[in-house]
Amino acid sequence: MAGPASLIGLDWGTTSLRAYRIANDGSVQERREGPLGILAITDGDFAGALARTIGDWLRAEPGLPVLASGMIGSRQGWHEAPYAPCPAGAADLSDRLVTVDGPDESVYLAPGLSTREPGTGVPDVMRGEETQILGALEALPDADLFVLPGTHSKWATVEGGRITDFRTWMTGEVFDVLRRHSILGRLMEGDGQDEEAFLDGVDRGAAEAAGVLHAIFAARTFGLMGDLPGTALAPYLSGVLIGAEIAGARAWSGGRKPVVIASGRLTDAYLQAMARLGMAGEAAAPDAVVRGLFGLARAAGLLERDHG
Amino acid sequence: MAGPASLIGLDWGTTSLRAYRIANDGSVQERREGPLGILAITDGDFAGALARTIGDWLRAEPGLPVLASGMIGSRQGWHEAPYAPCPAGAADLSDRLVTVDGPDESVYLAPGLSTREPGTGVPDVMRGEETQILGALEALPDADLFVLPGTHSKWATVEGGRITDFRTWMTGEVFDVLRRHSILGRLMEGDGQDEEAFLDGVDRGAAEAAGVLHAIFAARTFGLMGDLPGTALAPYLSGVLIGAEIAGARAWSGGRKPVVIASGRLTDAYLQAMARLGMAGEAAAPDAVVRGLFGLARAAGLLERDHG
């Protein structure tokens, strides 16, 4: 544990808890990660889970502010931090922090973000991604479109330091349930990659006028007919779904250049898919969530109050 | 058991076996239905399953031809009856019947149908639906587009008594896996209908330029935000998927008037959804599969040979 910290930042989601000891220049001094996502904490003892994960950090530096973002602030989490409406930047979010009693001291929970589609009023929501977007924006202040691929992919537009609007695509979860629970999984073999099958899928998912509910069926018929080996079927299906997402998101976001915030492997897949569809994208720097949490703490006056 | 029969027809699918004693005018003399679909017959004893279901019919009229269509002719069924390529009518299918040894005598298995998308060569397949389409066509000889909604919805074009092409949409299975295995099911309550929510979903599924992977997420956010009660979320999701299917199928089939072949409730839902989208459709008469099996048996000379 090198030197005094200025903030403990928590990226606390559905399946995992990532904790960061953050120095007063925003750099990471120490990090921990465990499977203590909110779904794993069935007794509601979030303070206990936090004490088990970083109790030594808290005891070593009493009074250090603790700020968490992600599903921990949802109705199924520690306490609900109601959604902030778009447009919203760090100042808007920091106005809406919710405080809960931690193991030793208070823990601040960041709100999620909500939007409604103009005209139809259809709502959309995110929790945790807003913090990553604002963090990634610090390193790329001119970026105006961010993509967070995954279980529920989010595409968000940004102007003047605030998230102006966003949409969700259920790409990752649809892939997962189709693979594990539908007939499409029956002919699939292995967990390998197959770049050619993936990119063929991207083409098809983006171009198929009959829609994705039709396009995905080829992940069965290619196998039945022997056109693709079993090992190529999962990459192909993944491509179809990601291609459909990118085409839909391009229709929504209208020609902006997307910045991808994800793990290295997922970032590569999305950048490859975008390139295949003639769309230039770039990768965000790592640890966007750390920069986002630090910026949020600064906007909320937590850094000054405790260590100013 | 009234009068001598001319054919025993079997509609033998994944989850059920439907058997029909058919008179020489094509009418149904007797029918039986059981849960002996091919997935339920794990020991491969299809002859035994048939004997348990209609052994008395077979013993009462030895020599009566038995003709089966559906997944029973797939690789996972009794014996593979290879796909016939489009275009195909009753004569083309009857040329490709496959014979297996039944409990007392031979059983004829109808082939499925295959097609490939022009340009891309992407394959599509059906098994059983081709028999229903040809049966429905007998009552509506001028129809040129048939829809068989369900787990895997099929849309097929017809010209000159032959099925010229078709496409599959995985609408029913996607609904099922999303409801049972994805986060969308969490807020859903009950199995009731909600016509308004269903038709709102149809509008959205058909119109959403961002695509169906985005549109389905509203089945969660409407619940989170309290815009829709839990009982409306499943009908809404069903509407989104059916709306997306119909819009995609309309793009593919180009303005033909669809004939819907399904149970009463599913037929009503599709006709309602089509009407909402400004598309005129009509319902096929019941027992299309019986007329299809009878026509196939006639084309194969089975009726003449045994009872001519």
Q: What is the pLDDT of residue A103?
A: 86
β-strands B259-260, B7-12 pairing:
unpaired
**pTM of structure:** 0.95
Question: Which of B151, B170, B204, B212 has the highest number of chain A CBs within 10 A, making it the mutation to test binding with A?
Answer: B170
Please report the residues numbered 229 through 268 in chain A whose beta carbons come closer than 8 angstroms to any beta carbon of chain B: 241, 244-245, 247-249, 251-252
Strand partners, A157: A145, A165
| DSSP state letter for A69 | E
Best residue in A127, A208, A214 for a mutation probing chain B (most B CBs within 10 Å): A214
Determine the average pLDDT of the residues in A259-273.
96
Q: What pLDDT score does A308 carry?
A: 39
Contact between chains at B123 and A171 (C-beta distance less than 8 A): no
Q: Does B305 touch chain A (CB under 8 A)?
A: no
Q: For position A202, what pLDDT does the model report?
A: 98
Q: A93: which 2 tokens?
A: 């979010």
Identify the CA nearest to A213 among candidates B25, B244, B96, B55: B244
| 8 Å CB contact of A124 and B169 | no
Contact by Cβ (8 Å): A230, A197: no
- Predicted pLDDT of residue B103: 86
Closest residue to A245, CB basis, from B152, B170, B213: B213
**Token digits of residue B100:** 């297996």
The predicted pLDDT at position B34 comes to 87
* φ/ψ (deg, to 5) at B124: -145, 155
CA distance A83 to chain B (A): 10
- DSSP, res B256: P
Which of A152, A182, A249 comes nearest B210 by C-beta? A249
Report pLDDT for B307.
Answer: 46
CB-nearest partner of B244 from A178, A211, A218: A211
What is the distance between the alpha carbons of residues A60 and A4, in angstroms, rounded to a whole number? 9
Across B44-61, average pLDDT: 95
Counting one residue from chain A and one from chain B, the pairs whose CB atoms sit within 8 A come to 144
pLDDT number for residue B305: 52
Measured between beta carbons, the chain B residues lying within 8 angstroms of A204 are 120, 122
What is the distance between the alpha carbons of residues A218 and A52, in angstroms, rounded to a whole number?
47
DSSP code for A256:
P
**Taking a C-beta distance cutoff of 8 angstroms, is the pair A285, A136 a contact?**
yes
Query: Whose CA is closest to B154, among B262, B239, B82?
Result: B262
- Residues in B closer than 8 angstroms to A225, CB to CB, are 114, 123, 125
* pLDDT tens, residue by residue, A58-90: 999 999 999 999 999 999 999 999 999 999 999
Task: Say how far apart CA B154 and CA B170 lie, in whole Å.
Answer: 9
Distance from CA of A156 to the nearest CA of B (A): 13
Average pLDDT over all residues of chain B: 95
Residues 113-142 in A contacting B (C-alpha not used; CB under 8 Å): 114, 120-125
Q: In what order do the strands lie in the sheet with B259-260?
A: B162-169, B153-159, B145-148, B259-260, B282-283
Q: Please check the confidence at residue A306 and state whether its pLDDT lies above 70.
A: no
Handedness of CA A180, A184, A185, A188 (dihedral sign): negative
Nearest CB to B181: which of A177, A217, A222? A177
Touching check for A190 and chain B: CB below 8 Å?
A: no
Chain B partners of A127 at a C-beta cutoff of 8 Å?
Answer: none
Sign of the alpha-carbon torsion through A180, A184, A190, A195: negative
Which chain B residue's Cα is nearest to A206? B211
A84 touches chain B (CB under 8 A): no
Least CB-CB distance to A244: which of B174, B211, B252?
B211
Contact A212 B217 (CB under 8 A): no
Phi-psi region of B193 (alpha: psi -120 to 50; beta: other; left: phi over 0): beta
Q: Is the pLDDT of residue A258 over 70?
A: yes
Determine whether the interchain pair B217/A170 forms a contact, defined as Cβ–Cβ distance below 8 Å.
yes
Give me the residues paired with residue B145 across strands. Answer: B157
Q: What is the pLDDT of residue A307?
A: 46
Ranges of H-type helices in B45-115: 46-60, 90-94
Distance separating alpha carbons of residues B221 and B204, to the nearest angstrom: 14
Is there a contact between A173 and B183 if contact means CB atoms under 8 Å apart? yes
Asked if B171 is an interface residue toward chain A (Cβ–Cβ < 8 A), one would say: yes
**Number of residues in chain B:** 308
Residue B109 contacts residue B100 (beta carbons within 8 Å): yes
Q: How far does Cα B157 stand from its chain's mean position? A: 15
pLDDT (average), residues A139-145: 97
- Residue A255 has a pLDDT of 83
Q: How near does any CA of chain A get to the CA of B33, in Å?
A: 24
* Cβ <8 Å between A169 and B249: no
Q: Which of B222, B247, B251 sits opposite A123 (nearest CB)?
A: B222
Catalogue the E-assigned strands of B77-224: 84-85, 98-101, 106-109, 113-116, 123-126, 145-148, 153-159, 162-169
Nearest to A218 among B122, B171, B244 (CB): B122
| Contact partners, residue A74, CB within 8 Å, separation at least 6 | A38, A80, A112, A127
- Interface test mutation site (partner B, options A213, A216, A228, A253, max chain B beta carbons within 10 A): A213
Work out the pLDDT band at B308, boundaries 50, 70, 90.
very low
- B208: closest chain A residue by CA: A248
Q: CB B213 to CB A122 under 8 A?
A: no
Residue type, B132: Q
pLDDT in tens, B78-137: 999 999 999 999 999 999 999 999 888 899 999 999 999 999 999 999 999 999 999 999
Residue A1 confidence class, pLDDT cut points 50, 70, 90: low
Give tens-digit pLDDT for B195-233.
999 999 999 999 999 999 999 999 999 999 999 999 999
Contact B177 A173 (CB under 8 A): no
Q: Which tens digit of pLDDT belongs to each residue from B225-276?
A: 999 999 999 999 999 999 999 999 999 998 899 999 999 999 999 999 999 9
What is the spatial distance between Cα A218 and Cα A171, in angstroms, rounded to a whole number? 17
Under 8 Å between Cβ of B17 and B36: yes
